[in-house]
């Protein structure tokens, strides 16, 4: 399963629209899990900014 996810830990962080941003997704990913970025409530410009922050 870990090979399939490409993670060190079998943890998938649920995207929680309205209460999290790229910082939580990055923290989970950096800790070895699979971070998720919630996008349902974002405008195209906000999504672009969050994706750039996540990539950084």
pTM of the model: 0.80
Q: Is the pLDDT of residue 1 over 70?
A: no
* Tokens 């990539």 sit on residue: 55
What residue spans define the domains of the chain? 2-55
Q: What is the pLDDT of residue 52?
A: 95
Rounded to whole angstroms, the Cα distance separating 37 from 50 reads: 8
Q: pLDDT over 70 for what percent of the chain?
A: 96
Q: pLDDT band for position 53 (50/70/90)?
A: very high
Rounded to whole angstroms, the Cα distance separating 25 from 55 reads: 11
3-state secondary structure of 15: coil
Q: Is the pLDDT of residue 46 over 80?
A: yes
Q: How many helices (H) and strands (E) does the chain have?
A: 3, 0
């Amino acid at each position: 399963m870990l090979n399939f996810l490409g993670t060190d830990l079998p943890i998938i962080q649920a995207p929680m629209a309205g209460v999290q941003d790229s910082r939580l997704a990055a923290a989970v990913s950096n800790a070895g899990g699979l971070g998720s970025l919630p996008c349902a409530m974002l405008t195209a410009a906000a999504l672009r900014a969050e994706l750039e922050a996540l990539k950084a």
